[in-house]
A = this chain, B = another copy of it.
Amino acid sequence: MELRTLRYFVTVAEELHFGRAASRLHMSQPPLSRAIQRLEGEVGAPLFDRSPAGVALTSVGTVLLDEARALLDQADRVRVRVAAAAGTAGITVGILGDATDTGATRLAAAYRREHPDADIRIRDTDLTDPTCGLRAGSVDVALTRAPFDGTALAVRELRADPVGVVLRADDPLARRDHLRLADLADRRWFQFPPGSDPAWQAYWNGGKPREGPVVRVVQECLQAVLWNGTIGIAPLGHDLPEHLAVVPLVDMAPSRVVLAWNEGDTNPLIRSFVRIATAVYRSTAS
């Protein structure tokens, strides 16, 4: 009953699907099936009911799921504490310009409480790079928004925000109580600087290539709305200057707030951070 096996088990128990669990674990399905079979042999009882309708936890599996999660969490804490003793405990968190919100502050507090002796370095980044410098290694974990190229990154979704169109308050469309992308077809959209993540650009452009002035950061984006009359897309719920208005966009996919980190990173604080964040955001009424 090694920790690795338990991680496999927990993943399968969460997915209730061997194939998906295997891909989450970056392995193929057969070895995962075998590992679970071995674990069931060790435990002496089946952990899953494999019926054609799908995979379900047995009662023993339910017990093991709780226990295994607790054990794995404790194992993470062990790693963190030892790293703290070795003086190597600390992470750099990259935060996308507008991802800061009440969830982030609660996350910071909870993390501080659990790891009072580990360093936290915060790096605020602009909207140009949704990975906040993850790939360059300047950041260990990014609190950011999807979508972006996730190659070699692990991503955990925390929340999804509906989005709206930011308009000048005197724009005729500003009086509508909701809009569709088609309503904006003839507007000028801003452009991200060249080299920006294509998936990222595509999302904020409503899925199509658009034309318009090139902007770099949130503030410039808002300025562009004001001065250039472009369209701005933003998650709802943000305060805006009063001469700007935001109208819900009903046919655009919500903006997903996510955590991302480099897949192979062994810094134990990352896993811990992700766990805490998941719990905090789950308990935060969206």
Interface residues of A (CB under 8 A from B): 1-4, 42-45, 59-60, 63-64, 67-68, 70-71, 74-75, 77-79, 81-83, 85-88, 266
Contacts and interface: CB of A to CB of B under 8 A. Distances in A.
Given A67-B81, A82-B64, A2 B3 contact: yes
A159 to B, nearest CB: 31
Residue of A45, A59, A74, A75 ringed by the most chain B CB atoms within 10 A = A75
A128 B127 CA distance: 80
B86 A60 contact: yes
Give the dominant DSSP class at A's interface.
Answer: helix
A74 B70 contact: yes
B70 A82 contact: no
Contacts of A68: 78
B88 A44 contact: yes
A266 B42 CA distance: 9
A86 B79 CA distance: 31
Contacts of A82: 43, 60, 63-64, 67
Contacts of A70: 74, 78
17 contacts: A1-B78, A2-B2, A2-B4, A3-B3, A42-B266, A43-B82, A43-B83, A44-B88, A60-B86, A63-B82, A64-B78, A64-B85, A67-B77, A67-B78, A70-B74, A71-B78, A74-B74
Contacts of A81: 63, 67
Nearest to A86: B45
Contact of A1 (B3, B71, B88): B3
Contacts of A45: 85-88
Nearest to A45: B86
Nearest to A266: B42
Contact of A60 (B43, B63, B85, B266): B85
Contacts of A1: 3, 75, 78-79
Contacts of A78: 1, 64, 67-68, 70-71
A120 B7 CA distance: 31
Contacts of A85: 45, 59-60, 63-64
A72 to B, nearest CB: 10
Contact of A44 (B59, B75, B86): B86
A2 B59 CA distance: 26
Contacts of A3: 1-3
